[in-house]
Amino acid sequence: MEDSLRQLAAPLSDSHTVTGLAEEFSPHIDRLTGLNNERYFAERINSLIGTLGCGDESFAVIIFDIDGFKPISDLFGRSAGDRILQQAGSRLRDALGSECTVSRIGADEFGVIIPSVAGEGDIGERIRCLLETLSEPYDVRYRTARLTASAGCSLFEPYANTAESVMNKAEMALYNAKRRGQGHFVLYSVEMEKAAKTATRIEQALRRAIAADEVEPYFQPIVDLDSRRIIGFEALARWTDPEIGVVMPATFIPIAEERGFISQLAQKVLRKAILAARDWPDDVYLSFNLSPSQLVDQQTVSQIKGILASTGFDPRRLEIELTETGLMTDPRSAAKIIEELRDHGMRIALDDFGTGQSSLGRLRDFRFDKLKIDRSFVSSMLEDQPSEHIVRAIVALCEGLRLGVIAEGIEQEEQAQLLMSLGCSEGQGYLFGAPIDASAALLLVHAQDKALSA
């Protein structure tokens, strides 16, 4: 009897699923979906590695992740989430032949092994088809839910001789796919691994720099376009590592965001920026950017209020910038944070307007004080008529909604003149000044005050 149950429980083929008593006794079966589990998945990879050895044959390991699964599960309930996972597993199993392995290897992750592949082009087309299959509507009792999936793929190579190394590469590819947005897939490459090692090196150096308070705020002037008087500064993080050298914000800020310590970085930079801004004239404001993850962290408001209280800085002189993409990470949380910041006296600006994944409806759903016209429209509006019309429309929209408006990325006087003629009141860009350190910013506003009073 025991031998019979063991035989029943053992996966008989790569796509084999088990129900009933077999689930209770098998260490290789995921009970929710009936698919093989992560343990069997790794054993199957090692088995294939042993079979192929150092020959020219190859196989593919693909990891699929259901995009936005948690919010849907939270909205419809756990049972609905379970139904989605069961349907996703069934779709993968049904779309692949019996020679392929399909396993549930994480909360909302599925692993697939395709034992024989003709090359990157062949596997790419197969993954695209599977992503389309996973993107079809899901039945959650009396309604349907639409989701997408992302995928990372690793092709076996002789020097990657363990299941762990092959799966790690597929996970790395999946990570890069999700960075591109929903519904993408990425095939692992050596360059990707080199980039990951560089990112880890930067991460460790940045953590040390934050602990040592070495990241500095720089300040770019914001001017009144009519008078050209400086009315504010945007604080921008700058960092130079003694070993790596100058690291651009476009490099280190995404790393801090993705690896979970952007809040510590932001707090350090904001405190330094506010301490510098205390010495500016009272009518010069400070603009500071919040990251997407700070808009889902309910500690963000208390952290900012704590910095304002400890420095004695007037919250009415602080303008918080948010991006459209950041708002959509968790709209409910973002709305709550925006309201609390505004209630405390801070102004809220929507940055990069027109380039994110939001819509005009967000101007109704969230309370903003100002919109920032993205530099991509400003830089091309002299030569590109559609860009000019977009800028014109944004300015008119702000006038109708009684919102302030600022154009960023102004580099030519002709751009400034056109913006003024359209009704844009504030501007920022290299035409008016590059980002400068705290002492240079203080000298600049003091020089302006002297010129105005002369």
Position 83: which residue type?
R
Compute CA 186 distance to the chain's CA centroid, rounded to the nearest angstrom.
17
Q: Pick the catalytic residue from 408, 411, 414, 426.
A: 408
132: which 2 tokens? 């389309």
214: which 2 tokens? 């070495």
175: helix, coil or strand? helix
Sequence-distant contacts of 393-400: CB under 8 A, at least 24 apart: 394/353, 394/354, 395/419, 395/422, 395/423, 395/424, 396/423, 397/360, 397/363, 397/371, 398/370, 398/371, 399/423
- List, as one string, the DSSP characters of 80-129: HHHHHHHHHHHHHHHHS-TTSEEEE-SSSEEEEEES----HHHHHHHHHH
Nearest Cα to Cα of residue 29 among 79, 87, 89, 104: 104
β-bridge pairing 230-241 and 216-224:
antiparallel
Map tokens 């903003």 to a residue.
Answer: 368
**Whole-number Cα distances in Å, 393 to 165, 226, 299, 348, 423:** 52, 20, 36, 21, 11
Residue 230 has phi, psi (to 5 degrees) of -70, 120
Radius of gyration of the chain (CA): 27
Paired strand residues for 224:
426
In a 13 Å sphere around the CA of 323, the CA atoms on its Cβ side amount to 14
β-bridge pairing 245-247 and 285-289:
unpaired
Can you state the percent helix, strand and coil of the chain, rounding each to 5?
50, 20, 30
Q: Give CA–CA dist 32/66, Å, rounded.
A: 16
Torsion angle (degrees, nearest 10) of CA 246, 287, 273, 265: -60
What does DSSP assign to residue 423? T
Query: Is 408 labeled as catalytic in the residue annotation?
Result: yes
List residues with catalytic annotation: 408
